[in-house]
Amino acid sequence: MKIALIGYGKMGKLLEIKATEQSHTICKILDNHNWNPEDLAESDIAIDFSSPESVVENIHKSFKSNTPIVVGTTGWYDHFEKVKIWCKEYDGSIFPASNFSLGVNIFFEINRKLSKLMNKQKSYNVKINEVHHTEKIDTPSGTAITTAEILIKELDKYSKWALDSSLDDDNLPIIASRESEIPGNHEVVYQSSIDELSISHKAKNRDGFATGAIIAAEFLIDKKGLFTMKDIIKF
């Protein structure tokens, strides 16, 4: 594949290494807002790890250029419905994910099944703890938000998530911390007056995110429409 990288921070640089190792070619690096759809003309696919401020317009430009796009940037999901409309209008191809790691997606599925069981246990409250490196722009993380949405769907006592909320209301609290050089830790904690149950995922490095994004690109290359990690990982 000939890949255009949109965003050239730590993830962009790692993607360049991992893609080259797998015999793919980085044909374009776009690391600012000032680029046009024509800049993707030579690319088979784009992979975006840019910023919450630019990602939606980057997606729009990729649709205009008829270039499939894999999106690892988070913090833009308020615009998701608009992006779905664009995808249909342009007959586009997009693969967004809050996390491309296989382990995290197993974590999602475990929490989906566990929350169905825990919904019957009314004595337990739940919270999500997430820790990332200090350079991460969005808070809470997209992975934490995805986890919260999974839990809210299954747990009757919660109707929405909130950052650093009290355990005593109907908000599912996400406790977010930023510490140096932590790729990403996520933990779901069920607490009662007598015990505590927790499920966690800790990334040791960013390799899983990059490798997963490349797998997503290989999957998307000849398809039309909107796809997610569920289309790759069959549980």
* 198 to 39, 94, 194, 201, 223: CA distances (angstroms): 47, 33, 14, 10, 38
Judge if 196 and 227 occupy the same domain: no
The model's pTM: 0.85
Per the annotation, the verdict on 136 as an active-site residue is yes
Judge if 83 and 117 occupy the same domain: no
Catalytic position from the list 136, 202, 223, 234: 136
pLDDT tens digits, one per residue of 165-223 = 765 678 999 999 999 889 999 999 999 999 999 999 999 998 999 999 999 999 999 99
Give the span between the Cα atoms of 154 and 124, in whole angstroms: 14
pLDDT of res. 235: 74
Judge if 106 and 52 occupy the same domain: no
Judge if 21 and 35 occupy the same domain: yes
For the residues 55-73, what does the mean pLDDT come to?
97
CB atoms under 10 Å from CB of 167, counted, come to: 11
Per the annotation, the verdict on 79 as an active-site residue is no
Neighbouring residues of 130: CB distance < 8 A, sequence distance ≥ 6:
140, 141, 143, 144, 174, 175, 176, 177, 184, 185, 186, 187
Q: Are the C-beta atoms of 207 and 14 separated by less than 8 Å? A: yes
Least confident of 18-22, 103-107, 136-140, 224-228: 136-140
Judge if 38 and 107 occupy the same domain: no
Range of the domain at 57: 2-99+207-231
Catalytic position from the list 60, 132, 186, 201: 132
Neighbouring residues of 146: CB distance < 8 A, sequence distance ≥ 6:
98, 99, 108
Give the span between the Cα atoms of 17 and 144, in whole angstroms: 27
Judge if 174 and 226 occupy the same domain: no
Q: Give 226's strand partners.
A: 94
Q: How many domains are contained in the chain?
A: 2
Any idea what the CATH number is for the domain that residue 73 is in? 3.40.50.720
* 227 to 14, 29, 56, 69, 129: CA distances (angstroms): 23, 24, 17, 10, 28
Judge if 93 and 7 occupy the same domain: yes
pLDDT tens digits, one per residue of 23-40 = 999 999 998 778 999 999
pLDDT of res. 168: 60
